[in-house]
């Protein structure tokens, strides 16, 4: 992620802890995201699992992107232009869901990350009086 000072120097708005996936990120991350998009296909997921290095080479990942993938470093992938919607497909190959990703990025254990979400716990329900809703 770009430091706030650099974002502001570029006239961009800095949102704490948040990467806005703009044109700069999209250009930087194109190869990594293209590889992840290919994982919609089971055959491609299997090809990656069988030969990670060869598969990354096929999609022309940058050295920074390759290192982040090798290290399973989610924040590194984001810094290299990865977009989470595509990275989620790569995470799936590693057996990680979005809650695992959340824990990895925030430095919490999975249980701590889930507990942090539960701190917001609320359920509010309203149902109007209406004949079409009668049981």
Partner 1 sequence: MSKICGGIFTSHVPGIGKAIAQNLQNDPYWKPFFDGFDPIHRWLAAEKPDVAVVFYNDHGLNFFLDKMPTFAIGAANEYRHEDEGWGIAFARPFQGHADLSWHIIEHVVASEFDPVMCQAMTVDHAVAVPFELCWPGKDAFPTKLIPIAINTVQHPLPSPKRCHDLGKAVGRAIESWGGNEKVVIFGTGGLSHQLEGERAGHINVDYDKFCLRNLAPDPEALLQHDTLDIVELAGSQGVEILNWIAARGALTGSVRELASNYHVPISNTAAATVLLSHSERVLA
**Residue ranges binding partner 1 (CB under 8 A):** 1, 13, 15-23, 26, 30, 33-34, 36-37, 39-42, 45, 74-75, 78, 83-89, 92, 97-99, 101-102, 105-106, 113, 116-118, 120-128, 130-135
DSSP 84-108: HHHHHHHHHHTT--HHHHHHHHHT-
Residues 6+ apart with CB under 8 A from 8: 14
Nearer to partner 1, 5 or 123 (CB): 123
Which pair of tokens denotes residue 55? 């598969």
Q: What are phi and psi of 117, to 5 degrees?
A: -65, -40
- What's the min distance (Å) between Cβ of 68 and partner 1? 13
Nearer to partner 1, 1 or 47 (CB): 1
């Amino acid at each position: 992620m770009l430091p706030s000072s650099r974002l502001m120097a570029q006239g961009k708005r800095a949102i704490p802890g948040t990467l806005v996936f703009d044109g700069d990120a999209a250009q930087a991350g194109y190869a990594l995201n293209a590889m992840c998009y290919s994982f919609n296909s089971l055959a491609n997921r299997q090809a990656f699992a069988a030969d990670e290095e060869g598969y990354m080479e096929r999609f022309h990942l940058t050295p920074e992107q390759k290192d982040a993938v090798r290290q399973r470093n989610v924040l590194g992938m984001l810094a290299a232009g990865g977009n989470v919607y595509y990275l989620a497909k790569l995470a799936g190959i590693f057996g990680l869901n979005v809650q695992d990703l959340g824990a990895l990025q925030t430095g919490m254990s999975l249980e701590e990350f889930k507990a942090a979400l539960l701190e917001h716990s609320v359920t509010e329900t309203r149902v109007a009086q209406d004949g079409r809703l009668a049981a």
